[in-house]
Amino acid sequence: MDGWTGQFLRVDLTTRTFRIETFSEEFANTWIGGRGFAVKILYDELAPGIDPLGPENKLIVAVGPISGIPAPNTGKTIVAAKSPATGGYGDGNLGTRVTDQLRKAGYDALIVEGRAERPTLLSIEDDRVEFLPADEVWGKGTMETNDWIYARYGKGVGVLNIGQGGENMVRFAVVRSLEGRSGGRPGMGAVMGSKLLKAIVVKGSRPIPQAFPVAMKELGRDDLREVHAMDKEMAWSTQGTTGVLPWCNEVAALPVHNFHGTHHPDAWQVDGERVNAARVATYGCPNCTMRCGIGILDDEGRESEVDYENIGLLGPNLDLYDLSQVAALNYLCDDYGLDAISAGGVLGFYADAIERGAVTGDLRFGDIAGMKRVLGLIARREGEIGNLLADGTREAARAFGHGSDAYAMQIKGLEISAYNCKFIPGMALAFGVSPIGAHHKESWIITFEVKQTTRGSYGRDKAQKIVDLQRIRGGLFESIVTCRFPWVELGWGVEHYPTYFNTITGKDWKLEDFWPISDRIYALMKLFWLREHPETDRSADFPPAAWFDPSNADTEGPIAGMILDREQYDGMLAHYYDIRGYDTRGVPTRATLEGLGLGAEAAAAEAFATLR
Amino acid sequence: MTITVKLVGGLIHTIGFSERVLDLPAGTTVAGLLEAIGIDPARPLIVGRSGWAIETDDEVRDGDRILVSPVFSGG
SS3 A160: strand
Rg (CA), chain A: 22
- For the stretch A81-104, pLDDT in tens is 999 999 999 999 999 999 999 999
CB contacts, 8 Å: A440 with chain B: 74-75
pLDDT at B75 over 70: no
Return the amino acid letter for A227. V
Please, which residues bridge with residue A22 across strands?
A7
Work out whether strand A109-113 and strand A7-12 pair parallel, antiparallel, or are unpaired: parallel
pLDDT attached to residue B12:
97
Nearest CA in chain A to B54: A451
pLDDT level of residue B51 (50, 70, 90 thresholds): confident
Please judge whether B74 and A234 are an interchain contact, meaning their C-beta atoms are less than 8 angstroms apart: no
A99 burial via Cβ count (<10 Å: 0-12, 13-18, 19+)? buried
CA dihedral A546, A551, A553, A555 (to 10 degrees): -150
Average pLDDT, chain B: 94
- Determine the number of helices (DSSP H) and then strands (DSSP E) in chain B: 2, 5
pLDDT attached to residue A249:
96
Mean pLDDT of A164-184: 94
Alpha carbon A281 to chain centroid, angstroms: 24
SS3 A257: coil
End-to-end CA distance of chain B: 36
pLDDT attached to residue A561:
98
CATH assignment of A7-203?
3.60.9.10
Please judge whether B13 and A272 are an interchain contact, meaning their C-beta atoms are less than 8 angstroms apart: no
Here the contacts of A296-302 (C-beta below 8 Å, separation 24 or greater) are: A296/A323, A296/A324, A296/A327, A297/A324, A297/A327, A298/A324, A298/A325, A298/A327, A298/A328, A298/A330, A298/A331, A299/A324, A299/A325, A299/A327, A299/A328, A299/A368, A300/A328, A302/A328, A302/A331
Alpha carbon A199 to chain centroid, angstroms: 19
Mean pLDDT of A451-457: 87
Q: Are residues A67 and A120 in contact, defined by beta-carbon separation less than 8 angstroms?
A: no
- Dihedral sign for Cα atoms in the order A60, A61, A66, A71: positive
Domain ranges of chain A: 7-203, 239-421
pLDDT level of residue B7 (50, 70, 90 thresholds): very high
- For the stretch A463-483, pLDDT in tens is 999 999 999 999 999 999 999
Q: Are residues A407 and A259 in contact, defined by beta-carbon separation less than 8 angstroms?
A: yes
Could you give the CA distance from residue B7 to residue B11 in angstroms, rounded to a whole number? 6
Could you give the CA distance from residue A319 to residue A447 in angstroms, rounded to a whole number? 25
Nearest Cβ partner for B8 among A246, A444, A489: A246
- C-beta neighbour count of A351 within 10 angstroms: 25
Q: What secondary structure letter does DSSP report for A72?
A: T
CATH 1.10.569.10 for domain A239-421, yes or no, is: yes
Query: E strand or H helix at A43, and its extent?
Result: helix A35-45
Average pLDDT, chain A: 97
pLDDT at A178 over 80: no
Mean pLDDT of A303-316: 97
pLDDT attached to residue B72:
80
CB contacts, 8 Å: B46 with chain A: 247, 447, 450-451
Q: What secondary structure letter does DSSP report for A207?
A: P
pLDDT at A227 over 80: yes
pLDDT at A180 over 80: no
Q: Are residues A96 and A156 in contact, defined by beta-carbon separation less than 8 angstroms?
A: no
Share of chain A above pLDDT 70, in %: 100
| Residue A325 dihedral angles phi and psi, to the nearest 5° | -75, -40
Query: E strand or H helix at A12, and its extent?
Result: strand A7-12
Nearest CA in chain B to A444: B74
- Dihedral sign for Cα atoms in the order A83, A483, A268, B34: negative
Strand order in the sheet with A158-161: A128-133, A120-125, A197-203, A158-161, A175-177, A182-183
Query: Higher-confidence residue: B74 or A87?
Result: A87
CB pairs under 8 A between A and B: 95
Share of chain A above pLDDT 90, in %: 97
Q: Report which of A21, A7, A134, A3 is spatially closest to residue A71, judged by C-alpha positions.
A: A3
pLDDT level of residue B71 (50, 70, 90 thresholds): confident
pLDDT attached to residue A510:
98
Strand order in the sheet with A303-306: A281-283, A293-297, A303-306
Mutation target vs B (from A182, A231, A232, A244; most B CBs, 10 A cutoff): A244
- For the stretch A352-367, pLDDT in tens is 999 999 999 999 999 9
Could you give the CA distance from residue A248 to residue A254 in angstroms, rounded to a whole number? 5
> Given CB atoms, is A234 within the 8 Å cutoff of chain B?
yes
Could you give the CA distance from residue A415 to residue A602 in angstroms, rounded to a whole number? 29
pLDDT at A120 over 80: yes
Rg (CA), chain B: 11
- Dihedral sign for Cα atoms in the order A251, A254, A260, A265: negative
Return the amino acid letter for A413. G
Residue B49 to chain A, least CA–CA distance (Å): 9
pLDDT attached to residue A381:
98
pLDDT level of residue A452 (50, 70, 90 thresholds): confident
Please judge whether A447 and B74 are an interchain contact, meaning their C-beta atoms are less than 8 angstroms apart: yes
Q: Report which of A215, A205, A208 is spatially closest to residue A125, judged by C-alpha positions.
A: A205
- For the stretch A558-588, pLDDT in tens is 999 999 999 999 999 999 999 999 999 999 9
Q: Report which of A140, A444, A70 is spatially closest to residue A289, judged by C-alpha positions.
A: A70
pLDDT attached to residue A84:
98
pLDDT attached to residue A70:
93
pLDDT at A386 over 90: yes
Please judge whether A251 and B48 are an interchain contact, meaning their C-beta atoms are less than 8 angstroms apart: yes
Could you give the CA distance from residue A172 to residue A84 in angstroms, rounded to a whole number? 8
Q: Report which of A334, A335, A314 is spatially closest to residue A326, judged by C-alpha positions.
A: A314
CB contacts, 8 Å: A422 with chain B: none
CB contacts, 8 Å: A450 with chain B: 46, 48, 51-53
Please judge whether B6 and A238 are an interchain contact, meaning their C-beta atoms are less than 8 angstroms apart: no
In chain B the domains, ranked by start, together with CATH numbers, are: 2-70 (3.10.20.30)
- Dihedral sign for Cα atoms in the order A40, A46, A49, A52: negative
- C-beta neighbour count of A150 within 10 angstroms: 13
